[in-house]
Amino acid sequence: MNAKRGAIIGIVVVCVVGALAAVTFVSTSPASDIVYQEPASAVHASLGQTTSDGKIALRLNEVSDGSNPATNSTWISLNREAHDAPNMPVLLYCCSLNPSPGEANLVANITVTNVHNATAPFSFGDFVLVSNDGKAYYPNYVVCGSACTAQVATKALNATFASNLYVLFSVPESMHPAKLVWTASDPNIIISLT
């Protein structure tokens, strides 16, 4: 009886672990079934143009492939700078930009400025990269210089905050980005890449 019980428990454990592994794989996959529905009241801007919701001003400087040597070099340099800074609460990302097979790592270089004259809440998770077929992709990680890493990590930007952020999106290799959306503002800020 005990051997049978042990075998049954072993099979159940293997099934549970297998199911958890499958769920983890699916949840980290870049495929998106979410289609971004643009609100009628959205604020629009173009690549390189600064726009604001009255609290945060944003300018999308570029979206580049992580395999681009200049993008990868900047990513590594900012990670080292943040890692070496004193009293950093967290290292936000410390990996190479090598994508998994069938994926691409796109990095959005965004200038973020607090124009509110007071501490402003901020989460890089409120950015959405929208493909030309309307599918929405959410960010994985962010890096910036040591002067801004602590504020970004604590999700509160001081009144004088102004910095470039590099926001990483893991997407399918065939994805073509069309716009970057800031969903934390009402109305949303939509920056066109074309």
pLDDT in single tens digits along all 194 residues of the chain: 555 554 444 443 333 333 333 332 233 445 567 888 888 888 999 999 999 998 999 999 999 999 899 998 888 888 777 766 665 555 444 556 888 899 999 999 999 999 988 999 999 999 999 999 999 999 998 888 877 888 888 899 999 999 999 999 999 999 999 999 999 988 899 999 98
Cα(75)–Cα(43) distance, rounded to whole angstroms? 29
Residue closest to 56 by CA, chosen among 117, 103, 142: 117
Is the same domain home to 42 and 24? no
Is the same domain home to 44 and 19? no
Residue closest to 65 by CA, chosen among 171, 191, 180: 171
User: At a CB cut-off of 8 Å and minimum separation 6, what does 111 contact?
Assistant: 50, 57, 58, 59, 61, 162, 163, 164, 165
Cα(182)–Cα(56) distance, rounded to whole angstroms? 10
Is the same domain home to 71 and 163? yes
Is the same domain home to 102 and 60? yes
Cα(177)–Cα(104) distance, rounded to whole angstroms? 11
Q: At what angle do helices 69-84 and 146-154 cross, to 10 degrees?
A: 80
Is the same domain home to 58 and 81? yes
Six token digits for residue 141: 């990680």
Is the same domain home to 111 and 47? yes
With H, G, I as helix, E, B as strand and everything else as coil, classify residue 5: helix
Is the same domain home to 20 and 86? no
How many domains does the chain fold into? 2
Is the same domain home to 18 and 95? no
pTM: 0.78
Is the same domain home to 45 and 1? no
Residue closest to 177 by CA, chosen among 84, 93, 99, 108: 108
Is the same domain home to 24 and 42? no
Is the same domain home to 90 and 143? yes
Domain range enclosing 25:
1-30
CATH number of the domain within which 140 lies? 2.60.40.1240
Is the same domain home to 148 and 164? yes
